[in-house]
Amino acid sequence: MHASLPEVDSLIARLADAIAPILTPATAIVGIHTGGVWVAERLHALLQCALPLGTLDISFYRDDFSRIGLHPQVKPSNLPFDLEGRAILLVDDVLHTGRTVRAAMNELFDYGRPASIRLAVLVDRGGHELPIRPDFAGITLAVPGHQNINLSRLDDGHLTLSLA
C-alpha cells in the first residue's frame, strides 16, 4: 500500500511552512539522534533560525536499557543555549510508540526548565503507546506493527524513507 513513499524534501518543506508561523527568534530547534538531527538540520536552514541547532542522544534515558544495554556509539548531547524559560521545537524522524520522545523530554528537563516543548516529526506512523502526539507532522501513515519505516541518508546528503 506504500509502494511509493513520499519524497522527503517535499515533506520537510511542508513541515517548515507549518512551523514558520509559531517560530520566534528565541525558539531553539533540537534534533534527536540520528534521523531527527538530519531533519532538524534541514528545518534549521529553511527557517533561518537565529540560535544554533541542538542535538540530543537519548541513550542514557531509554526505558529498555536494562534489556538491551547501552548503545555502542553514544554521542554527547549538545545544547548550545540556555534552556531555562525557552521555547523548544523537538524534532524526530518517525513517531512510533512515543518512548523516544518521552526520553528526550526527560533529558531536556535535566538541562533546565523550558517554557514550552513542541514536537515536529517527519512521519507519524501510528502505534502510539504514550499520550504523545506531534504538533507538526510531515505525513501521517498507518504502518502495520510488524513493519518498520526508516529514514536514511545517502552519501550526497539526500534523505529517503524506506519500509522494511
Partner 1 sequence: MNPQLTQDGRLRHLLTLDGLPRATLMEILDTAESFMDVGEREVKKVPLLRGKSIFNLFFEPSTRTRTTFEIAAKRLSADVVNLNIATSSQTKGEAILDTVDNLAAMHADMFIVRHSQSGAAHFIARHVAPHISVVNAGDGRHAHPTQGLLDMFTIRRFKGAFHNLTVGIVGDVLHSRVARSQIHALTTLGVPEVRVIAPKTLLPAGVEQMGVKVFHNLDAGLAGCDVVIMLRLQNERMKGARLPSAQEYFKFFGLTSEKLALAKPDAIVMHPGPMNRGVEIDSEVADGPQSVILPQVTYGIAVRMAVMALLAGGTAA
Eight-class DSSP state of 48: T
Decide if 151 contacts 158 (C-beta within 8 A): no
Q: Which three cell numbers stand for residue 154?
A: 545517502
Question: How long, in residues, is the chain?
Answer: 164
Report the residue from 7, 10, 26, 69 that binds partner 1 according to the rule CB under 8 A.
Answer: 69
Closer residue to partner 1, CB minimum distance, 4 or 66: 66
109 touches partner 1 (CB under 8 A): yes
Q: How many CB atoms lie within 10 A of CB 65?
A: 13
Region for 87 from its dihedrals, namely left if φ exceeds 0, alpha if ψ lies in -120 to 50, beta otherwise: beta
70 touches partner 1 (CB under 8 A): yes
Closer residue to partner 1, CB minimum distance, 72 or 145: 72
What residues from 40 to 59 belong to the interface with partner 1 (CB under 8 A)?
57, 59
76 touches partner 1 (CB under 8 A): yes
The residue assigned the cell 534515558 is 61
Report the residue from 27, 55, 77, 100 that binds partner 1 according to the rule CB under 8 A.
Answer: 77
Q: Which residues bind partner 1 (CB under 8 A)?
A: 57, 59-61, 65-70, 72-77, 106-107, 109-112
